[in-house]
Amino acid sequence: MLQSMKIIGGYPLFGEISISGAKNLALPAIVTTLLTDNEITLNNVPNLSDVTSLLELLEYLGCDINHDTAHKQLILKTTNIKHTEAPYDFVRKMRASILVLGPMIARFGRASVSFPGGCAIGVRAIDLHIRTLQLLGAEVTIDNGFIKAYSPNGLTGCDITFPIVTVTGTENSIMAAVLANGTTRLINAAMEPEVEELCNLLNNMGAKITGQGTSTITIEGVESLHGTTFDIMPDRIEAGTYAIASAITHGKLLLKNCIYNHLEIFFNTLKSNGVSITQQDNGVLVENNNDKINSIDISTAPYPGFPTDLQAQYMALMTISEGVSLITENLFENRLMHTQELNRMGANIIVKGNTATVKGVENLNGAPVMATDLRASASLILAGLVAKGETTVNRLYHIDRGYENIDNKLLQCGAHIKRITV
């Protein structure tokens, strides 16, 4: 049954929101179980449908899973593998399933993953994931819609230069290289905090990785990895979304556990918008006392640039700003679909190429709208929080992929929001 979110706009949000564990770290962290036969314990794992989808795939592959959702703890053990093939039905649900490719080829010498295909936000090629495996010495073929990789004698380290920055491409390459013979150097690697933390987790498991958090990551291959216990860091995109919830409703929210440095460029932009951002011991306080919101242009870029995963939410804020804001999406070719839905709520946005020109309007009006992807649905909920009257966000299943308990988190701070089953 499909769910929708009904929102009555116009209520400022006040209070505290605890930021959950990062989805885009939890996913690669989970697949590290494929690299060792010892136990991996992950704490602060967010309860999200993307996590559930990945666990279903791992269970199919033969991992033992003990998931204590109440305590957000996940214990994983992969003594033996039953399958080295990730079928279409799993990969279709979630593109990040491609992350099993690197660890499976590293430990078992073979891996086969259904081709993920395009998705709502763009083509999302995986040629660079494949290229790395080939450079590390794997034989890779595309056969019947599957990427099949084979390296019975193991992989061999080498220098790999990425022509463009890819987050899961870097993560897959790191996980392929940790058990390789010799040293691998990834040049123009992704610098996202999620990649850095994945390397820290792998080092806790006995890997020898240096340079994480910079654009050159060096991986000295080791014989084997062992088990460990690791905490998933707070989700910077969830934190950024609630920061905008505070700004757009002219509220005051303490984002508990939020790591300021992970969002520096984003917070600097909000400050230029006129929002007060204060670092505190236990998180970041976001307060908007101003009547008007300044319009500031943004252009998305890999970390540490303005995150593409916050572009849609930021656009919601700009719809009610004073002036004109240019929003340029540089990472994904089809990630401006929320503009049509925001316009249905009275926004004034014109898209040309990869740039949206957002002319601020006095106010938005509630309307039935449809979420097209995860971050677009967050953007529409934010718009609904400030729009006059009632907004219904349909196809809510997108939001549950990446926002743990969003209804309650917003309700507790004074939002008038209700999930309904239609």
Binding to ligand EPU by residue 124, rule CB under 6 A?
Answer: yes
Binding to ligand EPU by residue 378, rule CB under 6 A?
Answer: no
- HSE at residue 62, side-chain half, CA atoms within 13 A, is 14
Given candidates 57, 76, 96, 138, which one binds ligand EPU under the rule CB under 6 A?
Answer: 96
Given candidates 4, 18, 24, 53, which one binds ligand EPU under the rule CB under 6 A?
Answer: 24
Alpha-carbon distance of 72 to 233, in angstroms, equals: 13
Alpha-carbon distance of 415 to 13, in angstroms, equals: 6
Asked if residues 372 and 366 have their Cβ atoms less than 8 Å apart, the reply is no
Alpha-carbon distance of 47 to 259, in angstroms, equals: 20
In Å, what is the CA distance from 242 to each residue of 153, 247, 287, 316?
48, 9, 11, 12
Helix (H, G, I), strand (E, B) or coil at 2: coil
Binding segment for ligand EPU (CB under 6 A), chosen from 71-79, 107-115, 126-134, 311-319, is 126-134
- Among residues 321, 347, 315, the alpha carbon closest in space to that of 241 is found at 315
Binding segment for ligand EPU (CB under 6 A), chosen from 66-74, 80-88, 118-126, 392-400, is 118-126
Binding segment for ligand EPU (CB under 6 A), chosen from 55-63, 78-86, 119-127, 272-280, is 119-127
Binding to ligand EPU by residue 379, rule CB under 6 A?
Answer: no
Binding to ligand EPU by residue 398, rule CB under 6 A?
Answer: no
Given candidates 31, 74, 135, 167, which one binds ligand EPU under the rule CB under 6 A?
Answer: 167
Asked if residues 32 and 205 have their Cβ atoms less than 8 Å apart, the reply is yes
Binding mask 214-253 for ligand EPU (x = CB under 6 A): ----------------------------------------
Binding to ligand EPU by residue 338, rule CB under 6 A?
Answer: no
Asked whether the CA dihedral 190, 195, 199, 202 is positive or negative, the reply is negative
Binding to ligand EPU by residue 331, rule CB under 6 A?
Answer: yes
Binding to ligand EPU by residue 12, rule CB under 6 A?
Answer: no
Partner residues linked to 139 by β-bridges: 150
Binding mask 270-309 for ligand EPU (x = CB under 6 A): --------------------------------------xx
Which is nearer to ligand EPU, 127 or 264 (by Cβ)?
127
Place of tokens 């992704």: 190
Classify strands 39-43 and 228-231 as parallel, antiparallel or unpaired: parallel
Which is nearer to ligand EPU, 73 or 354 (by Cβ)?
354
**Annotated catalytic residue, options 63, 119, 158, 199:** 119
Q: 264: burial class by Cβ within 10 Å (0-12, 13-18, 19+)?
A: exposed
Given candidates 375, 377, 399, 409, which one binds ligand EPU under the rule CB under 6 A?
Answer: 375
Helix (H, G, I), strand (E, B) or coil at 208: strand
Shortest CB 50 distance to ligand EPU, Å: 8
Partner residues linked to 287 by β-bridges: 252, 276
Binding segment for ligand EPU (CB under 6 A), chosen from 102-110, 123-131, 145-153, 387-395, is 123-131
- Among residues 330, 332, 415, 417, the alpha carbon closest in space to that of 374 is found at 332
Give yes or no: 413 in active site: no
Shortest CB 295 distance to ligand EPU, Å: 24
CA 105 from centre of chain: 24
Alpha-carbon distance of 124 to 108, in angstroms, equals: 27
Binding to ligand EPU by residue 262, rule CB under 6 A?
Answer: no
Interacting residue ranges for ligand EPU, rule: CB under 6 A: 24, 27, 96, 122-129, 164, 166-169, 308-309, 331-332, 374-375, 402
Catalytic residue numbers read 119
